[in-house]
Structure 1
Amino acid sequence: MTTIDKTTEATTIRVRWRDPATWGGILALGGGLFHTVVAATMRQEVWARIFDEGFFNTVTLDPSPDRLPMAEAFWLSPGSFGVPLLLLGALVVRSTRRGERAPGWLGCGVVAWAVLLGLLGGFDAGTIILLLIGALFLAGAWFKKEPSRPRS
């Protein structure tokens, strides 16, 4: 009876950089980080007010008109999809580094999400980048990994 080795080997740098999912993961990392940091930076005065009033229970789901800037600041930076996009990118980069493929359903999900956002709010630069990330994840799902060669 033969056994099948299901362990994955870490890929070489050359192979990893040719994997489109790696590029999609890097783009997702950068996009998530950029969105979260820039959105928080653009609302520095609101964040200062949040910290002055006390950090806990400052943001509600149904804010009054005077609390609306705080809710907006929250939902556009740490409460936005920037943080999950950053984490998703990190996971994909880690997976491709270990020689694993990005699953095809992940790319389909990101593309569907981007299309939904584009149809509801218009296809702006962020939506186009999200479409590109999903397409790179899809391409990475079909990426053929080179067989590892023993070093001599």
Structure 2
Amino acid sequence: MIKWAGWLMVFFGAAHTIGALTVKGAADHAGEWFSGALWDDDLAAMSPANSAYWLSLASFGVPLTVVGLMVLWLDRRGIVPPTFIAWMLGIWIMVGAVVLVFTPWPILLLANVLLLVGTRRAARTAPLRPTPTTRTP
């Protein structure tokens, strides 16, 4: 379950970022991004270049991909990801679902449920490890 959750996060984060850069044409504004044109741009009245930047590179797509890769990395090493990752993602997903109903948030909700159930199952079945203060004979 944890592996599926990680792959869904990687897929969704990468698809969002790549889709925004290509399908939505955000990459067309890259020249403005790197020229300093956004430095004085008003966030309340965004220019098309600023809007494209926040939709693509400054969106949560890149960090979500990193979180997904981290979950996969931990899982490959037999380390159970901390439950707070699933809870924080769940809160973020539900806020996004309320704000923008017609987005693919159910994909992330599925990843979140898989991660939460996977971490809870792994925590219940994991053997107890000796604490640093416990002496072994």
Scaled by the length of structure 1, the TM-score of the pair is 0.71
Gaps of 5+ in 2: 128-137
The answer to whether the aligner puts 1:42 opposite 2:20 as a matched pair is no
Inter-partner Cα distance in structure 2 for 1:115 and 1:71: 26
Inter-partner Cα distance in structure 2 for 1:87 and 1:120: 24
Inter-partner Cα distance in structure 2 for 1:119 and 1:70: 26
Structure 1 runs, 4 residues or longer, greater than 6 Å off: none
% identical aligned pairs: 30
Deviation per residue, 1:81-117 (Å, 9 max, x gap)? 0000000000000000000112111111111111111
Shift of 1:54: 6.8
Inter-partner Cα distance in structure 2 for 1:127 and 1:133: 10
Counterpart pick for 1:98 among 63, 77, 80? 77
Aligned to 2:53: 74
The alignment of Structure 1 onto Structure 2 pairs a total of residues equal to 124
Counterpart pick for 1:115 among 67, 75, 94? 94
Scaled by the length of structure 2, the TM-score of the pair is 0.78
Aligned to 2:118: 140
Give RMSD over aligned pairs.
2.4
Is this contact kept in 2: 1:59–1:74, CA < 8 A? no
| DSSP 3-state at the match of 1:36 | helix
